[in-house]
Structure 1
Amino acid sequence: MLKGNFLRGLGYLGEGFRLIRQPGLRLFVIIPLVLNVILFGLLFYYLAGLFSAMIATAMGWLPDWAWLQSLDWLFWLLYGVVILLMLAYGFVILANLIGSPFYGYLAELTEKHLTGQEVVSDAGWMGLLKDTPRMLWREVQKIAYYLPRALGLFILGILPVVNLVAAVLWILFNGWMMALQYVDYPADNHKVSFGRLRKDLAASRLSAMGFGLPVALAAMVPVLNLIVVPAAVCGATAFWVRENDSTQQ
């Protein structure tokens, strides 16, 4: 039986957008945002042409069956959704690799703002530099978890008819990955292993999906996907503070 509260999970992203406006948190929102704007601007130009080529190639694989050809518009839509979801999380992976040292500290400051208590870690810029290798390795662990599962879903997504199911599975998987991605920041601040975090979130899966799904959808929207990353970090920290007791049981 799935545990947690989906509707409660939905509220954490909205809380994250409110938190990023706090004066003490803004600096660690602005710096990675500027870096990501530069990166995304370059990538968008390249991926615009790549996306069209991938859609055309996928459609060329369809067998010449009359009933399939009559559903041409539907397969365009489904292939587009699958590829867009892949690109959405790909953007998030790159954004988090760049911003991970800032986002770990942002999660720390957010938790202090919410609880009034210091997180046990090295504070300040020196602590940030010291923790950077560990934070980057944590991002590599998340990518290693994501890629084989994404590959399996991608193979399903390019198969005609089967992609009807694959598109739904992609949405659910991306929602789960977004919850893992962002709740990992406060969890890492508390030295909770990535494996332990997966078990904890699985114990409150409905809440995790309620948080992760709107993040995944927002990551598909140009411009909004730049702003949603720091908001998701803050929202995930609120998730950690409020849901942690239930996930530890």
Structure 2
Amino acid sequence: MLQGNFFKGLGYLGEGFGLIRQPGLRLFVIVPLILNILLFVALFWLLAEVFALMIAGLMAWLPDWTWLQAMDWLFWILYGAVVLLLFAYGFVIMANLIGSPFYGFLSEQTERYLTGQEVSEEGGWMLILKDVPRALWREVQKIAYYLPRALVLFAIGLIPVVNLVAAVLWFIFNCWMMSLQYVDYPADNHRVSFPALRRRLGARRLSALGFGLPVALLAMVPVVNLFVVPAAVCGATAFWVKEPDPTALVRH
């Protein structure tokens, strides 16, 4: 039986957008945001250059008289659709890899703001630098969890008729992954292992899916997804603080 509150889960991202405006948290939002903007611009430029070369090569291959020569604008529309899909999750994954040390500290400061209690005795920029290897390893664990399941869903999507169900499963899975992705930051701050985090969210699955739903949707909106990442970190921290833990957490 599914437990949790789906509609309460929906509200955590909105709470996260409110939290990133707090004076004590802004600095840890601005630095990774600048990095994400640079990443966004670099990826957009690189993809545009590659796609322009592909279109030029295709146009050169086509005979001059073909009506397709005048349809290069259609290929640019296709490019826009591809970029949208790529940025939906590829950008989020890369942004999390780059900003993971900052997001861990942002989550810690958010929890302190919400509870008034210190999460750890250490703090500051030296802690961020020291935690880089562990933060990156947590991101690798999440990618390793995601890829085999994504491949299974991709294979299901190749089967006629069944692929209609696969589209729904894809979206539900991405909502679940968004919840796992961001609640992992406060979990890691408390030294909760990734398997233990999955059990904890599994016991509050409706709340987790409710939180992941708006994150997954807004991740598909270019520019907006730049701000979704820090807001999701803060919202996930509020989820961690306010959702009861019905499991015996295994700490590493």
Coarse TM-score class (shorter-chain normalised)? 0.7 to 0.9
Provide the residue aligned with 1:109 in structure 2: 109
Structure 2 residue 242 is the aligned partner of structure 1 residue 242: yes
Aligned-partner Cα distance in 2 for 1:236–1:191:
16
Aligned-partner Cα distance in 1 for 2:50–2:152:
21
Provide the residue aligned with 1:214 in structure 2: 214
Q: Give the drift of 1:150.
A: 1.0
Provide the residue aligned with 1:166 in structure 2: 166
**Contact 1:82–1:157 (Cα < 8 Å) also in 2:** no
**What are the Cα deviations for residues 184-218 of structure 1, in whole angstroms up to 9, with x where unaligned?**
00000000000000000000000000000110111
Provide the residue aligned with 2:182 in structure 1: 182
**What are the Cα deviations for residues 101-132 of structure 1, in whole angstroms up to 9, with x where unaligned?**
00000000000000000002521111111111
**Contact 1:157–1:163 (Cα < 8 Å) also in 2:** yes
TM-score (norm: length of structure 1): 0.82
Provide the residue aligned with 1:91 in structure 2: 91
**Contact 2:175–2:216 (Cα < 8 Å) also in 1:** yes
**Contact 1:81–1:167 (Cα < 8 Å) also in 2:** no
Q: Give the drift of 1:84.
A: 5.9
**Contact 1:82–1:167 (Cα < 8 Å) also in 2:** no
**Contact 2:87–2:222 (Cα < 8 Å) also in 1:** no
Aligned-partner Cα distance in 1 for 2:211–2:50:
30
TM-score (norm: length of structure 2): 0.81
Q: 1:154 to 1:162 in 2, by over 3 A?
A: same
Q: Give the drift of 1:159.
A: 4.0
Aligned-partner Cα distance in 1 for 2:50–2:147:
20
**1:131-210 equivalence runs, <5 A:** 131-210=131-210
Provide the residue aligned with 1:72 in structure 2: none
**Contact 1:85–1:174 (Cα < 8 Å) also in 2:** no
Q: Give the drift of 1:244.
A: 3.8
CA-based RMSD of the aligned residues comes to 2.4
Q: Give the drift of 1:157.
A: 2.7
Aligned-partner Cα distance in 1 for 2:46–2:153:
24
Q: Give the drift of 1:86.
A: 6.4
**What are the Cα deviations for residues 120-174 of structure 1, in whole angstroms up to 9, with x where unaligned?**
2521111111111111100000000001111121222344433211111111000
**Matched residue SS, 1:118:** coil
Aligned-partner Cα distance in 2 for 1:81–1:195:
35
Aligned-partner Cα distance in 2 for 1:151–1:12:
30
Provide the residue aligned with 2:226 in structure 1: 226
Q: 1:170 to 1:44 in 2, by over 3 A?
A: farther
Of residues 84-93 and 148-157 in structure 1, the stretch that sits farther from structure 2 once superposed is 84-93
Aligned-partner Cα distance in 2 for 1:155–1:49:
31
Higher alpha-carbon Rg: 2
Aligned-partner Cα distance in 2 for 1:93–1:197:
19
Aligned-partner Cα distance in 2 for 1:83–1:226:
15
Q: Give the drift of 1:90.
A: 1.7
**Matched residue SS, 1:90:** helix
